[in-house]
Amino acid sequence: MEQKIITKIRHFISLTIIATVIAFWPICNTTPVNAQTVTLAQGVDPESLDPALDTLISSVGVMMNIYDALIWRNGKGEIVPALAESWDFPEANRMRLKIRQGVKFHDGSILTVEDVVFSYQRLFDKDSPSPLLSSLKGFVDSVEKVDDSTVLVKMPAARATVIPTLVRVPIISKSVFERVGVQAFGIAPVGTGPFKFKTWDKNERIVLERFNDHWRGPAAIRSYVIRPIPEDFARFASLLNGEVDIIANLTAERVKEIENNTALKWKGVASARNMFVGMNTRKKPFDDIRVRYALNHAVDKQALIDIVMGGHAIENASVCTQTLFGATKVDSFKYDVNKSKKLLAEAGYPNGFETTLLGPVGRYTKDKEIQEAIAGMLAEVGVRVKHVQPEWAQFIKQWLGQKYPMHYIGTGNQVMDCDQHLGYRIDGKRYNRYYQSDLIDTLIQKELVEYDVGKRKAILAEIQEKIRDDAPWIFLFDLKDLYGMTARIKWDPRADEMVWAYDIKVSE
């Protein structure tokens, strides 16, 4: 059976085999390391360290070491107090938070309620539109001072996910921001987090230093360095020769090499990110549900997982990643080429059609290979795919502009709630992008105001079933995030893709 799958995938994609010198490197790293410094290699560099300007998860992962939010989610996924010591709901659409006293910013100044209010209200400023506003849109109308230790969050209505939503908003220093301005703040920020900013050589490295006056107490490591290394080979090479301690987006092929190296280890975690191919259901041919079903039946998801992803992914036909609150299992579309061809013929496309697939390269694990494999599978039923694969910033612009009929993308989720996936991809009230359903929009508005956990889960389950039946995507899989690391690192990956250096310890 395995050989049949391998043969099939090789028919769909051709993978270039690169001769490397990795096989000839010594089993043990010989480069000396600094026990007080931990270096992470990830795929991309932030565009800015201002949390209002860059909301990419890999960038947020850097920034949440510099800043704190009012509320935090720990490595176990539990909601815990942070800059807010406690909170309550005096009314269904009002949330009152008590601000922790005596917290220091990295410049030595003391956190005030004014800093909290400013950090939120600047997001609503019409002259400073922020992508972070999308996390608050429909959830928070304003944040206001009650007294010197209390703020009040005003919502348009009851919002069941307002608590984890506040995890998304870091608190910045109002006085520093107003003194230096948005551009300077974005390259040399000041927060209250466990690490303070030291230097940033763009596209080379960001260096953070431990903040010894952090309100949680000092971190275990002295320095945290983040290096952007887009290429998988180069990232892995940097781990092998001891230049870095942790690499993100470890590919399945590297796992065996790590297992044969006593100086290294790897860890994985079921991710909050799911991958899919979106279709513009507002335009032909994807306005026909038979076409959307046909494409779902044409793609062998398990073969993609077994061969391209090396088994490190989980098939999922739900719009919500299975690690999220409210996620439910729904029936997958079975791989059936004959059924796919029949549906295409019934829809008026007996010979298939031509289309364009927009997708990134280097943003997600094996993204290019997955896109090529899907194109090969679709070609088997007559759907001829042309690839458009710009660099990440251009990809986002073209995706937001709905320039192409299909797109390969993944949805992360720092809130860890099904609703955020729905808001990003499905909710016509909030975004109205490639798919819209009045029924789904009504159900989303219903779950948003439902505080009863059992009732809300039932509504979310209904939404996921109906979206699956409407098939606005080619449903693929949830990712498993894999990390390679040196043996001295003591750290467990988080489902939200963030590397929070406060949790990292080293052994010598």
User: Quick one: pLDDT at residue 26?
Assistant: 35
User: Quick one: pLDDT at residue 427?
Assistant: 66
User: Quick one: pLDDT at residue 125?
Assistant: 81
Q: Is the pLDDT of residue 264 over 50?
A: yes
Average pLDDT score over residue span 376-405: 93
pLDDT averaged over every residue in the chain: 89
Which range has the worst mean pLDDT, 4-18, 38-52, 58-72? 4-18
Please state the φ and ψ torsions of residue 246, each to the nearest 5 degrees. Answer: -135, 135
For 172-230, the DSSP string reads --HHHHHHH-HHHHHHS---SSSEEEEEEETTTEEEEEE-TT-TT---SSSEEEEEE--
- Res. 420 pLDDT band, cuts 50 70 90: confident
Please state the φ and ψ torsions of residue 274, each to the nearest 5 degrees. Answer: -115, 150
Average pLDDT score over residue span 358-368: 89
pLDDT tens digits along 465-495: 999 999 999 999 999 999 999 999 999 999 8
Dihedral class, residue 380 (left if φ above 0, else alpha if ψ from -120 to 50, else beta):
alpha
Encoded amino acid at 363, one letter: R
User: Quick one: pLDDT at residue 21?
Assistant: 31
Average pLDDT score over residue span 149-171: 94
Residue 508 CA: distances (Å) to CA of 35, 217, 493, 499: 7, 22, 20, 21
User: Quick one: pLDDT at residue 128?
Assistant: 65
User: Quick one: pLDDT at residue 133?
Assistant: 80
Q: Is 360 helix (H, G, I), strand (E, B) or coil?
A: coil
| Residue 412 to residue 363: CA distance in whole angstroms | 12
Q: CA 488, 490, 415, 122: dihedral to nearest 10 degrees? A: -60
- Res. 328 pLDDT band, cuts 50 70 90: very high
- Res. 349 pLDDT band, cuts 50 70 90: very high
Average pLDDT score over residue span 392-420: 88
Average pLDDT score over residue span 210-239: 95
And the tokens for 141?
A: 């109308």
User: Quick one: pLDDT at residue 432?
Assistant: 58
Contact between residue 251 and residue 365 where contact means Cβ atoms under 8 Å apart:
yes
Average pLDDT score over residue span 332-347: 98
Q: What DSSP character marks residue 16?
A: P
| Residue 495 to residue 251: CA distance in whole angstroms | 17
User: Quick one: pLDDT at residue 171?
Assistant: 98
pLDDT tens digits along 183-200: 999 999 999 999 999 999
Sign of the Cα torsion 98, 101, 106, 108 reads positive
Query: Which residue has better confidence, 394 or 32?
Result: 394
Task: Please state, for a pLDDT cut of 70, what percent of the chain lies above it.
Answer: 91
Contact between residue 267 and residue 490 where contact means Cβ atoms under 8 Å apart:
no
User: Quick one: pLDDT at residue 429?
Assistant: 62
- Res. 28 pLDDT band, cuts 50 70 90: very low
| Residue 487 to residue 38: CA distance in whole angstroms | 12
Q: Where are the beta strands (DSSP E) in 379-488?
A: 383-388, 406-411, 473-486
Give the number of other CB atoms < 10 A from CB of residue 107: 11
Q: Is the pLDDT of residue 16 over 80?
A: no
Q: Is the pLDDT of residue 63 over 80?
A: yes
Burial (CB count <10 Å: 0-12, 13-18, 19+), residue 137: middle
Which range has the worst mean pLDDT, 206-215, 248-257, 331-340? 248-257
User: Quick one: pLDDT at residue 129?
Assistant: 67
User: Quick one: pLDDT at residue 31?
Assistant: 35
> If we measure between CA atoms, which residue out of 483, 489, 464, 459 comes closest to residue 475?
464
| Residue 121 to residue 103: CA distance in whole angstroms | 21
Q: Give the position of tokens 């506003």.
A: 133
CA 269 to chain centre: 13
Q: Is the pLDDT of residue 262 over 90?
A: yes
Q: Is the pLDDT of residue 33 over 80?
A: no
> If we measure between CA atoms, which residue out of 241, 279, 282 comes closest to residue 263?
241
Q: Is 355 helix (H, G, I), strand (E, B) or coil?
A: strand
- Res. 251 pLDDT band, cuts 50 70 90: confident
User: Quick one: pLDDT at residue 305?
Assistant: 96
User: Quick one: pLDDT at residue 35?
Assistant: 58
Query: Which residue has better confidence, 325 or 385?
Result: 385
- Kindly give, in sequence order, each residue whose CB lies less than 8 Å from that of residue 296, ignoring residues fewer than 6 positions away: 333, 471, 474, 475
| Residue 338 to residue 412: CA distance in whole angstroms | 34
| Residue 320 to residue 444: CA distance in whole angstroms | 13
Average pLDDT score over residue span 135-159: 92
